[in-house]
Structure 1
Amino acid sequence: MSESPHPSFLIVEDSDEDYAALERIVRRARPEITVKMQRCASAEQVLALLNAPLLPQKPLPELPALIVLDLNLPGLNGKEVLRAVRQHPRMKRTPVVIFSTSSSPHDIEWCYEHGANSYHVKQTDYAAFKRAVELLVDYWVEAVRLPSPVRTGTVLEKPDEAVSLV
């Protein structure tokens, strides 16, 4: 089980309907556990989050313990997000779960080769979709220990250290 009393998920999902369903299912799957959820609707939003400049004398923001990533995003796709997360000094150890409609063996192989921790095919049938999300929560919140949210170097000491992370 995750050591954090409130595990945090970053959901990268462009579909409002899929995000609303996913959020509702996560909240109901384990009502006794509060899962903090943040959403990015595009790869560009995630990349902006990763590239946020570090500011002097400001604590670094807490990063999610788990990223749930859709591959089929408008503009840049989820593969670009996975690549950026795996190269990011503060997020490279964060588990990334691919949650995509693509069942292409090429996509699945590519994601595992580039650091995905698991790959789930989104089902169009609501009952199957709900069960997949419940399994995701059971595994990532109940069965395993997620890394502690990273806050390395909580405050920058010098103003000239205000730089981009990626």
Structure 2
Amino acid sequence: MTELPLSSFLIVEDSDEDYAALERIVRRVRPGLPVHLQRCVSAEQVLMLLNAPLVPGRPPPELPAVIVLDLNLPGLNGKVVLQAVRQHPRLKRTPVVIFSTSSNPKDIEWCYEHGANSYHVKQTDYAAFKRAVELLVDYWVEAVRLPPYPGLQGSLLEKPDGEGKTE
């Protein structure tokens, strides 16, 4: 059997309970799955992380393979994060999975129109929540093949040299 590559998930979730449940489900139900979870609790924290400058002598940070994004965040909402990710050339292909309590059709439509790859409504029932997390991880880690997510050459939100030029 071929070993699966390590998948890095950036989880943008302000609820400690939801994040703890998500992490527990991934670790207990899929203990051998090579998944690295990183958490941000606000849109501002994500934007700071994505725009972090390079530190001399350290390798550039790696891009997450998948971003799991809650819409209802304190301060700026998840829509701001989705727009920032989709506007940057180094992140535009990074899958963004919305994982939100909102079942509002306008939110769902807006997210798909702005580049979300999937939209999951968080369930309040633990069994349904658990199944949704299992499906999410199985799909993005085992079922699909994503392009490599390389280290960064600079700030994620900094535009690369020569942008807009045709090759």
CA distance in 2, matches of 1:120, 1:163: 26
CA distance in 1, matches of 2:59, 2:32: 29
In structure 2, the residue matched to 1:45 is 45
Matches for 1:49-88 after TM superposition, within 5 Å: 49-55=49-55, 58-88=58-88
CA distance in 2, matches of 1:20, 1:99: 14
Distance 1:136 1:164, change over 3 A: closer
- The TM-score with structure 2 as length reference comes to 0.86
Contact 1:7 1:35 in 2 (8 A): yes
- The TM-score with structure 1 as length reference comes to 0.87
How many residues align structurally? 157
Matches for 1:103-118 after TM superposition, within 5 Å: 103-118=103-118
Bigger RCO of structures 1 and 2 (CA < 8 A, at least 6 apart): 1
C-alpha RMSD over aligned residues? 2.0
CA distance in 1, matches of 2:59, 2:91: 16
SS in 1 for 2:120: strand
Contact 1:62 1:151 in 2 (8 A): yes
SS in 2 for 1:80: helix
Structure 2, unaligned runs of 5 or more: 160-167
CA distance in 2, matches of 1:90, 1:28: 33
Percent identity among equivalent residues? 79
CA distance in 2, matches of 1:115, 1:4: 27
Structure 1, unaligned runs of 5 or more: 157-161
Matches for 1:79-98 after TM superposition, within 5 Å: 79-98=79-98
1:65-99 alpha-carbon deviations (Å, 9 max, x no partner):
00000000000000000001111232121100000
